Chains A and B, each alone.
Chain A
Amino acid sequence: GENVEQHPSTLSVQEGDSAVIKCTYSDSASNYFPWYKQELGKGPQLIIDIRSNVGEKKDQRIAVTLNKTAKHFSLHITETQPEDSAVYFCAASILTGGGNKLTFGTGTQLKVEL
């Protein structure tokens, strides 16, 4: 089955700096890669996603890049703010006509310091 690895496990940045989180996946059939943000005591919240027919996607301060050949994808957060502090999870899925179960990475604890 699919295996997703995520690095780093913790990341501390100064407010206003950029943060980058990287993930690799094992199944070349995976074609959908969402990123979720999870705050303490809450469920994961979708923040951005990308399909394999696209190499990059941007939404305001958040961007995701995908390298299908190397089977890795990354989350970039620019101009970080204290409210960006949370655990971030990458995931991979094979979009089919059936259920699109997600395989998650182990998470990155992002801390934005003032």
Chain B
Amino acid sequence: EAGVAQSPRYKIIEKRQSVAFWCNPISGHATLYWYQQILGQGPKLLIQFQNNGVVDDSQLPKDRFSAERLKGVDSTLKIQPAKLEDSAVYLCASLGDGHNEQFFGPGTRLTVL
């Protein structure tokens, strides 16, 4: 079974630029998560999707962050415009119905200069 795929793995941008990250969850997993992991901290949930609907986006900075999962499969997370404090690893995870374990992708490491 293929795992959670993310791209790109690394991205370096300047502040005020835009950036997008892509995630393809494990096939058949209805729930998809985006986490932000700042260096030295644990992952923090940004947004949770159930199929193509948003379940929880209470911690998403909506003035600059957006995410979509239009067909209920893969998802895109966008930052526009980026700030220095957005430098972090962005992790995608998925959860299958009836399972009790989230599966994580390798992450995208974003550096904002």
Partners in one complex: no
Interface residues of B (CB under 8 A from A): none
